[in-house]
Amino acid sequence: MPRLTIGLGGILVLLGIIAYIATAFASATALIPSALGVILVISGIIGVKRPKIGIHIALVVALIGALGTLMQVSSLPALFAGEAERPGAVITGSIAFVLLVVYLVLGVRSFIRARRWEGQQG
């Protein structure tokens, strides 16, 4: 999980930078995925030495990020109808949402497997 966390963080950093460039540097909020990504990279680095702490922090950040991008996902119908006020934000937020939800599912599955393995060992 720590390497996955670092990788996802890197992808989110790139997503935010690309979005910021694509909006002609007009909106600093396009960098929100990058901020989440930096926190995830740091959490992943912590997770290399202390997996429980680092990955728990990363999962909380991912949950908050997914909830924060949910509003953009709800704007997808307007995007497809060509009526979205900020199409770049909807696209970027939706991509971040999907990445974060997949990460959350993988993280929860990882913790379940770890608990089962600990139960078999103890």
For 70-107, how does the pLDDT look when each residue is reduced to its tens digit (9 = 90+)? 988 888 988 898 888 888 888 999 999 999 999 999 99
Q: How confident is the model at residue 122 (pLDDT cuts 50, 70, 90)?
A: low
Q: What is the mean pLDDT of the segment spanning 28-57?
A: 93
DSSP per residue, 40-55: HHHHHHHHHH-HHHHH
pLDDT exceeds 70 at position 54: yes
Q: Name the nearest CA neighbour of 37 among 99, 117, 94.
A: 99
Q: What is the mean pLDDT of residues 26-53?
A: 92
What are the domain boundaries of the chain?
Answer: 2-121
